[in-house]
Amino acid sequence: MNKYLKRLIHIVNVRESVDYQTADSSIRNNIAFRGPNAIILACAIIIASVGLNVNSIPVIIGAMLISPVMGPIMGLGLALGTEDGHLLKESLKNYAVMVLISILASSMFFLLSPLNLENQSELLARTNPTIYDVLIALFGGFAGILETSRKEKGTVISGVAIATALMPPLCTIGYGISEFRLVYIFGALYLFLINTIFIALATFLAVKLFKFPAVETTDDNHKRLSKRWYAVIMIVVLAPSIITAINVVKENNFKINASTLVKNNKNMGKSFIYDYKTNYSRKSQTIEIFVAGENLSDEVREKLYNEAESYGIMRSQILIHEDATIMRKDISEAEIMKSVYEHTDKQIKALNDSIGKLNERLVAYNESVIPVNAIALELFAQHPQITNVSITRGSTVDAETSEETEQIVVFITAEQPIKQDLHEQIERWLKVRLQNENVLVVEAK
């Protein structure tokens, strides 16, 4: 066991591959936003804005590949990890310059762009942070500092630039400013700050994990952070990180539970849910459900409320709109028709399933029905002395085993008593005719 554990530790050990001096130099050299870096950033922002304007994922990815936005953010993490006050000041200053250039470039583009964006799906995606954004920023930042620190360079930084998606939120802020829409401005800014905090946090943790040496200098311009300021800054960074992570997890769970609730109750009697909307804030969380068809009965409503409570959603948080004419402004007719078709398809499938089950029951019933009239006529033809035939299906129970067995009883009335051999012959014939070994022939007196 110790052998495999040592082998595993050897595989994941990265300290031997870390070049502290090269990493430190690389991060410091990529912090400044002036000259070529500033122009490249502005070009990348405009390219990303074009991609968002036309909803083109490849264009957005291309813009992220050439953007130098990771520098100041990783500089923040390195400064905190090595307690370098001068580097922290420079990183914050260049971070502010980066944000200012990005917002100005994107705002100018959207103000001057002749294109009107009908479907804003890519922009809207940059205003609603999820738990995935937190995880991507955290692990993306860790991968970024690891790539910067290792001796043999690869292409991870490009991948991190794409994964963490720092630029699209900045472009969305510019779009919000050009359209004077606060939901875009603050939503995108929130997402950008989340990415910034968690990338910087990942860089800080990696610097501590790899044991980067703390800065030591007597130069007044390059003082180390005092223990007091270091503690204050770490609280400022860590507290929002923890609070944000908790809030994002809560919001994500609420939306998942809402989606599951709607999915499980898409069809409710003669009504169906054609759309729903979640509204989440720290003060209130609600689900708006849009229903078409007949009004919901009290029984159906109660069933929906009870299931919602099993997901931790209170009935006061559910708002049901039963009037199909009250439609959301952000949903198209095509989406509504799609929901109607889905509902119709599900109803047809349910009807087909019901018909299939009924057919199976009908076949089973037909197989179980005894053709009394046909059997009686055949017996009359074979044995003229028989004057009456009565057949019934029942069950017998064994007294010792309590086992219940199906039993078919045939009552025969004849002009004269039937001899034993003829009685056995009729019983054998009936077993073959009815395809059942549990046939009992009783002669009625």
Same domain? For 40 and 175 the reply is: yes
Contact 384, 390 (CB under 8 A): no
Contact 437, 406 (CB under 8 A): no
- Residue of 177, 187, 158, 163 lying closest to 102 (CA atoms): 177
| 26-40, 106-120, 148-162, 397-411: least confidently modelled range | 148-162
Same domain? For 285 and 356 the reply is: no
- Residue 98 maps to a domain: yes
- Residue 357 maps to a domain: yes
Q: Could you tell me what percent of the chain has a pLDDT over 90? A: 2
pLDDT at 367: 62
- Residue 271 maps to a domain: yes
- Residue 233 maps to a domain: no
pLDDT tens column, 357-395? 877 777 766 666 778 888 888 888 888 888 888 888 877
* Neighbouring C-beta atoms of residue 416, cutoff 10 Å: 6
- Residue 2 maps to a domain: no
Residue labelled with tokens 């169906």: 272
- Residue 383 maps to a domain: yes
pLDDT tens column, 192-204? 888 888 888 888 8
Same domain? For 121 and 192 the reply is: yes
Contact 109, 49 (CB under 8 A): yes
- Residue of 206, 164, 157, 195 lying closest to 26 (CA atoms): 157
Q: Name residue 293's amino acid.
A: G
State how far the Cα of 406 lies from the Cα of 421, in Å rounded to an integer: 25
Q: Name residue 220's amino acid.
A: D
Q: pLDDT band for position 116 (50/70/90)?
A: low
Choice between 227 and 355, residue whose per-residue pLDDT is larger? 355
Q: Is 60 exceeded by the pLDDT of residue 27?
A: yes
Q: Could you tell me what percent of the chain has a pLDDT over 70? A: 76
Q: 430: part of which helix (H) or strand (E)? A: helix 420-434
The answer, as to whether pTM is greater than 0.85, is no
Contact 105, 33 (CB under 8 A): no
- Residue 358 maps to a domain: yes
Find the mean pLDDT for residues 39-52.
Answer: 85
Give the CA radius of gyration of the chain.
Answer: 38
What range does the domain containing 292 cover?
A: 255-330
Q: pLDDT band for position 31 (50/70/90)?
A: confident
Same domain? For 170 and 205 the reply is: yes
392 phi, psi to nearest 5 deg: -140, 150
Contact 191, 127 (CB under 8 A): yes
Q: Is 379 helix (H, G, I), strand (E, B) or coil?
A: helix
Same domain? For 45 and 175 the reply is: yes
Calculate the CA dihedral of residues 286, 287, 293, 297 and round it to 10 degrees.
Answer: -60
pLDDT at 126: 58
Q: pLDDT band for position 64 (50/70/90)?
A: confident
223 conformational bin, left if phi > 0, alpha if psi -120 to 50, beta if neither: beta
Find the mean pLDDT for residues 165-191.
Answer: 83
Same domain? For 203 and 324 the reply is: no
The DSSP 8-state label assigned to residue 174 in this structure reads: H
CATH code, domain with 287: 3.30.300
Same domain? For 380 and 341 the reply is: no
Choice between 325 and 432, residue whose per-residue pLDDT is larger? 432
Same domain? For 80 and 114 the reply is: yes
The DSSP 8-state label assigned to residue 18 in this structure reads: B
- Residue 84 maps to a domain: yes
Same domain? For 325 and 338 the reply is: no
Q: pLDDT band for position 163 (50/70/90)?
A: very low
Same domain? For 100 and 219 the reply is: yes
Q: 69: part of which helix (H) or strand (E)? A: none
Number of domains making up the chain? 4
Per-chain mean pLDDT for the chain: 76
Q: Is 60 exceeded by the pLDDT of residue 1?
A: no
pLDDT tens column, 246-277? 777 888 888 888 888 888 887 776 777 777 88
pLDDT at 100: 92
Q: DSSP of 296-359, one letter per residue?
A: PPHHHHHHHHHHHHHTT--GGGEEEE--TT---TTS-HHHHHHHHHHHHHHHHHHHHHHHHHHH
99 phi, psi to nearest 5 deg: -65, -40
pLDDT at 25: 81
Q: Name residue 315's amino acid.
A: R
Q: Positive or negative CA dihedral for 266, 272, 275, 278?
A: negative
Q: Is 60 exceeded by the pLDDT of residue 162?
A: no
- Residue of 134, 141, 145 lying closest to 82 (CA atoms): 145
Same domain? For 57 and 201 the reply is: yes
Same domain? For 154 and 59 the reply is: yes
